[in-house]
Amino acid sequence: MFIIGSYSLAVLCCFITMLCWGSWANTQKLASERWRFELFYWDYVFGIVLFALLFGFTAGSAGAVGRAMPADLAQADAVNLASALLGGVLFNAANILLVASIAIAGMSVAFPTGIGLALVIGVVVNYLDRPEGNATLLFGGTLLVAVAILLNAWAYRRAAVNRRKTPTKGLVLAIVAGGLMGLFYKYVANSMFPDFEVPLPGKLSPYSAVLVFSLGILASNCLFNTLLMRFPFEGQRVRYRDYLRGGSRDHLMGILGGAIWCLGMSFSILASDEAGPAISYGLGQGATIVAAVWGIYVWREFAGAPGGTRAILNVMLVCYLIGLGLIVAAG
């Protein structure tokens, strides 16, 4: 299987993860306006599973290093399979709330608040589980990210008040999503053998772990999204027959969004071998910068906000960039 052999290549893969995780939500924006996010999310999950299968049976099964995915899955212990599945369930609970927050509050709010909080929690949890890297730089960068979260929430509140809207729902959904999102990565990382060149009995390869993780997302989505369709955060109840009425563009955007996100997840997991889970996850969650730029400057989600809001957002982006730089330097 393909593995990453150096820290510099691992950092490059983390930046690819950042681009993927920060850009997939554009596919939700590009679907038709009538296409509810609950319906979009089904295709998004299908895209994650399809990409995990494709990547596992190609890059994950080629070459002499490691263990090919079919053989790897056949020998895996139930404990490690359950750990990767649990990671998928936690991620899905978090991500479905994040997608709801995007639909209500926009990318430039949901990502800095939700994913920023996930970065802080994820870095702490993964570092305590596997301490790698300079703790001072790592947590200093994490602190700056936390400052950026507060600045973004402040900017959103100013803009929402100016439009006579209540920002509470979008912010609360993003905060809950971030709290859950910071926990899932640990369970996927714990299911794998730590040195990707040396397979261990019962443990999963990174490719198998991502596939089992994706199946956890799919299984839990049958419950989570069904409940959300029946009891939506906003709007009327959605039914399964509404999904079948979607156009090809609507379905394609969802599948593409899931595939883009899973590409980022796969690269993040592969990079964790050289960079360590805390740095790999933390740097990948720099996706917030990418998403905030999309939301602020392309989709213009803060258009009409009161004076000074743009300055707050720019300071937020600077804090994020410096924080990410410190996280890179920690390795």
- pLDDT tens per residue, range 90-112: 999 999 998 888 888 777 677 77
Tell me the average pLDDT of the chain: 88
Any idea which residue has 């996927």 for tokens?
A: 188
pLDDT of residue 293: 80
Q: Is residue 3 part of a domain?
A: no
What integer pLDDT is reported at residue 166 of this predicted model?
A: 46
> Please, how many CA atoms are within 13 Å of residue 305, restricted to the half-sphere of its CB?
19
Please compute the mean of the pLDDT values over residues 175-192 and round it to a whole number. Answer: 92
Residue 56 vs residue 164, higher pLDDT: 56
What pLDDT, on a 0 to 100 scale, did the predictor assign at position 162? 55
Question: What single-letter amino acid sits at 222?
Answer: C
Question: Is the CB of residue 279 less than 8 Å from the CB of residue 138?
Answer: yes
The answer to whether residue 9 sits within a structural domain is no
Other C-beta atoms closer than 10 Å to the C-beta of 150 total: 14
State how far the Cα of 17 lies from the Cα of 47, in Å rounded to an integer: 16
Tokens representing 236 are 């009327």
Report how far residue 247's alpha carbon sits from residue 266's, in angstroms, rounded to the nearest whole number.
29
Task: Answer whether residue 268 is part of any domain.
Answer: yes
Residue 118 pLDDT greater than 60, yes or no: yes
CB atoms closer than 10 angstroms to residue 261: 25
| Tally of domains in the chain | 1
Contacts of 195 (CB under 8 A, 6+ apart): 273
- Angle of helix 116-129 versus helix 168-190 axis, rounded to 10: 30
Residue 265: pLDDT over 90: yes
Task: Single out the residue of 324, 290, 229, 321 nearest to residue 107, CA to CA.
Answer: 290
Domain that includes residue 213, residue range: 14-329
Please, which pLDDT band fits residue 164 given cuts at 50, 70 and 90? Answer: very low
**Residue 6 forms part of a structural domain:** no
Within a domain: 309: yes
pTM strictly above 0.75: yes
Side-chain-side CA neighbours of 82 within 13 Å: the count stands at: 3
C-alpha dihedral sign at 45, 285, 32, 174: positive
Share above pLDDT 70 across residues of the chain, in percent, rounded to a whole number:
97
Dist. CA 245–CA 259, nearest whole Å: 22
Domain annotation covers residue 70: yes
Mean pLDDT value across residues 10-37: 90
Least confident of 72-86, 135-149, 158-172, 209-223: 158-172
- CA distance linking residue 40 with residue 242, whole number of Å: 11
| Residue 299 or 43, more confident | 43
What is the rounded average pLDDT of the residues 235-260? 95
For residue 253, being part of any structural domain is answered with yes
| Per-residue model confidence (pLDDT) at position 111 | 73
